[in-house]
Structure 1
Amino acid sequence: MHLYSLPSDVFLVIRRKKTTIFTDCKDSATVLELKKIVEGITKIPPADQRLYTTNSAIMEDSKTLQDYGFNATTSKAQNPTSIGLTFKLSSGEFEDLELCPYSTPPELPDVMKSQDANGQEQAS
């Protein structure tokens, strides 16, 4: 009996400026395959895309997500791995990597705040 690991799903958040793309693919998928997924959403061809690891290193088309340490353990649905995305400008240069911070939700109105730790109204 031979034991081998089956490809597993990797959950990713691909971010560019104010755009966020949530996707999943197999850990055996190449960076080029991931760029083709992005192309399906953005209509930007893979040659005009650049993907970046969490430490801002440029990802190579021929490497797999697994090569970058992305697997089912490190990239879960509830905690996806963040990847940066830039596009090629008309000058032929790639734009700078820019990730806008996520917005924070507004504070809850007073009527929705609980009166004590367990959310029960206090008797007077």
Structure 2
Amino acid sequence: MDLFFEIQRKKTHIFCDAKDSSTVLELKKVIEGILKIPTGEQTLKKQADDQAKTWETLDDAKSLSDCGFSTLNAKAQHPAVVALCLVKDGQAEDVMIDPLSTPPPLPDVMRAQEGGQGSDSGTN
């Protein structure tokens, strides 16, 4: 299955997709191809808890599905957020994400798709 990601660092936001069987290292290789940052200098993190805003480091050897990503939380219309942190002197920097502008509302067609997932598709 295809999973969709928004990889964020400061004002850089990269949208990409990957198979659920792909590893975190393969996702890093996609980033390397775009930003020219070697995989060894990258650390990828996902939010561990929405309330506390804590981040957990993703293991390069694990598949994306083993890291908790699925078609339910990594959709094309709502990609999973992954933070990119650079490694300097063996230490990964803190998560730094600058917000972008607010996107326009979803079209009715996409809202209908999310309606089956328990969203607010009944409101206009």
Fold conserved between structures, TM > 0.5: yes
Counterpart position of 1:63? 62
| Matched residue count | 97
Length-normalised TM-score, structure 1: 0.73
Q: Which has the larger radius of gyration?
A: 1
User: What runs of 5+ residues in structure 1 fail to find an aligned partner?
Assistant: 1-7, 106-124
Q: Does 1:82 align with 2:75?
A: no
Give the CA RMSD over aligned residues. Answer: 1.4
1:73 CA drift (Å)? 2.3
User: What runs of 5+ residues in structure 2 fail to find an aligned partner?
Assistant: 49-54, 104-124
Runs of 4+ in 1 over 3 A off after TM superposition: none
Length-normalised TM-score, structure 2: 0.73
Counterpart position of 1:53? 46
The one-letter amino acid of 1:10's match is: L
Pairing of 1:6-25 with structure 2 (within 5 A): 8-25=1-18
Q: Percent identity?
A: 47
Counterpart position of 2:98? 100
SS at match of 2:56: coil
